[in-house]
């Protein structure tokens, strides 16, 4: 698998992988997200992702949406704590149309006041819907507890109050202050010659003046572990236990990713699934999640269980963590864990859209994209002692925090 790279004179980077398939995938990713918001701006980065489609200097909202969707394309966007992304999947013949539209909505949106006011109600409704889903909300609230006092702890959606404070002036100020050209990556997977892709991107984005990031993000300093039980009217008890983890630059990141997958990844034979679901029938949904950020990260174990079964479930979880801390994985165990992880990564890359998004993120973080062969070699280089070291650091019970949503009647 071969990747091709180019940097425009203004600092915008392009990465492309040729695919002979009928459908192409294009993403524009900006290295800014909710962690870049100032106090009082919570939810602004995500709100911009919504209103960026509401009209440009030459297109009304229905023309923006119809430009790709009328030819059967899929247009979408998302915001995380560290990036904002718009992406589309379309027939390869429409590359020029997609690239031009992306440039138009990113840098020529007009943000009509009427549309801003309407979208505030939509986003507040999204916030309220999120609050109705405890199995999703608990992840946000756990990271708020884990990164308390730091922008990484703030919800991407913001609050109803912070969304109501958003103005057109704040939107324009955030874009001019954070959409830096050297922090933008355009990623492509599709049937197009790289020279033509570069030409099309340069025509649409090359005219933007160079705007380089000169400031740095507020670095997170570790906080003390905390345990919190919150009463809620739920059918289940929901719980997350977890710890601070490694950032993107940490060499131990791959070992933790492997360990997380072995412990509570998507496979039905993960350690936690076998212990809680298969052997004891305590939990329908149990998983472990590792999320790296620029300089830190979060490790979380989530479970939902019947009211009254939490203590037994946590005892079983702790037993699994202790096993990883007690001794290194055996040779066969480690080999199986690696093969499972490699297989899951390979399956994920069968989606060219996933690959395009992964390529963009890798360029933002590392300024390169590892081939699948390099990724496999990094996984195969993990030793049992490396996994043991990670387990001792991340699974230390004295350093783990816990958040529980407990039914008020339990």
State the DSSP string of 92-133. GGGHHHHHHHHHHHHHSB---HHHHHHHHHHHHHHHHHHHT-
Query: Of 205, 235, 251, at which residue does a domain stop?
Result: 205
Residues 189 and 57 in one domain: yes
Are residues 319 and 170 part of one domain? no
Q: CA of 134: how far to CAs of 33, 208, 272, in Å?
A: 24, 43, 21
Rounded CA separation 3/187 (Å): 10
Domain around 356: 227-407
**Tokens representing residue 27 in the block:** 């993403």
Domain co-membership, 150 together with 234:
no
409 confidence band (pLDDT: 50, 70, 90):
low
Distance CA 304, CA 307 (A): 9
Instruction: Decide which of 205, 235, 261 is a domain's last residue.
Output: 205
The SS3 of residue 214 is coil
**Residue 224, token pair as written in the block:** 């003390």
In a domain, 211, yes or no: no
Distances (CA, A) of 101 to 14, 267, 327, 353: 17, 39, 55, 18
Q: Are residues 195 and 266 in the same domain?
A: no
Question: Do 190 and 304 fall into the same domain?
Answer: no
Q: Give the number of domains in the chain.
A: 2
pLDDT of residue 1: 64
Shared domain check, 231 and 199 = no
pLDDT of residue 214: 84
- The pLDDT of 123-152, averaged and rounded, is 95
Based on the fold, state whether residues 106 and 238 are members of the same structural domain: no
Residue at 233 is within a domain: yes
* Residue 392 belongs to some domain of the structure: yes
Q: Indicate if 199 and 248 belong to the same structural domain.
A: no
CATH code where residue 314 lies: 3.30.830.10
Q: Is residue 210 a contact partner of residue 184, using CB atoms and an 8 Å limit? A: no
Q: Is residue 296 part of a domain?
A: yes
Residues 66 and 139 in one domain: yes
Residues 39 and 168 in one domain: yes
What letters, b where the CB count within 10 A reaches 16 and e where it falls short, cover 354-366? ebbbbbbbbbbbe
In a domain, 220, yes or no: no
For 211-233, what is the mean pLDDT?
90
Predicted pLDDT of residue 410: 45
- Tell me what pLDDT residue 307 has: 84
Look at 75-79, 241-245, 246-250, 307-311 and tell me which has the smallest mean pLDDT.
307-311
The answer to whether residue 389 sits within a structural domain is: yes
Question: For the chain, what is the mean pLDDT?
Answer: 95
**Residue 66 within any structural domain of the chain:** yes
22 and 121 co-located in one domain: yes
One domain for residues 189 and 320:
no
pLDDT bucket at 341, cuts 50 / 70 / 90: very high
Rounded to an integer, the average pLDDT of 383-393 is 98
**8 A C-beta contact, residue 244 and residue 251:** no
- 84-to-108, 149, 259 alpha-carbon distances in Å: 17, 23, 28
Residue 154 belongs to a domain: yes
């Amino acid at each position: 698998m071969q990747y091709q790279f180019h940097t425009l004179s203004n600092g915008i980077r392009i990465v492309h992988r040729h695919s002979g398939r009928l459908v192409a995938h294009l993403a524009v990713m900006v290295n800014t997200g909710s962690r870049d918001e100032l106090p009082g701006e919570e939810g602004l980065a995500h709100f911009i992702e919504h209103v960026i489609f509401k009209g440009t200097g030459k297109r009304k909202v229905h023309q923006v949406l119809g430009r790709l969707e009328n030819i059967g394309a899929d247009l979408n966007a998302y915001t995380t704590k560290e990036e904002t992304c718009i992406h589309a999947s379309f027939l390869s013949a429409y590359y020029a149309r997609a690239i031009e539209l992306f440039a138009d909505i990113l840098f020529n949106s007009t943000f009509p006041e009427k549309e801003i006011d309407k979208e505030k109600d939509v986003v507040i409704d999204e916030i309220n819907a999120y609050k109705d889903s405890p199995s999703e909300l608990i992840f946000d609230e756990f990271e708020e507890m884990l990164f308390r006092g730091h922008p990484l702890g703030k919800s991407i959606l913001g609050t109803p109050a912070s969304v109501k404070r958003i103005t057109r002036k704040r939107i324009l100020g955030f874009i001019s202050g954070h959409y830096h050209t050297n922090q933008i990556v355009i990623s492509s997977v599709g049937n197009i010659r790289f020279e033509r892709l570069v030409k099309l991107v340069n025509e649409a984005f090359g005219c933007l003046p160079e705007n380089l990031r000169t400031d740095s993000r507020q670095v997170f300093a570790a906080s003390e572990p905390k345990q919190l039980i919150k009463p809620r009217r739920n059918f289940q008890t929901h719980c997350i236990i977890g710890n601070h983890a490694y950032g993107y630059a940490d060499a131990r990141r791959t070992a933790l990713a492997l360990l997380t997958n072995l412990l509570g990844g998507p496979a039905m034979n993960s350690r936690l699934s076998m212990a809680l679901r298969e052997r004891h029938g305590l939990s329908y949904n149990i998983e472990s999640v590792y999320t790296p950020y620029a300089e830190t990260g979060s490790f979380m174990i989530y479970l939902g269980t019947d009211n009254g079964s939490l203590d037994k479930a946590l005892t079983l979880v702790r037993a699994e963590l202790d096993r990883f801390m007690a001794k290194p994985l055996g040779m066969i165990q480690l080999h199986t864990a690696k093969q499972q992880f490699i297989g899951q990564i390979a399956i994920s890359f069968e989606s060219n859209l996933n690959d395009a998004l992964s390529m963009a993120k890798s360029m933002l973080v590392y300024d390169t994209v590892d081939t699948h062969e390099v990724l496999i070699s990094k996984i195969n280089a993990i030793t049992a002692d490396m996994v043991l070291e990670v387990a001792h650091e991340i699974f230390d019970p004295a350093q783990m925090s816990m958040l529980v949503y407990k039914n008020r009647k339990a």
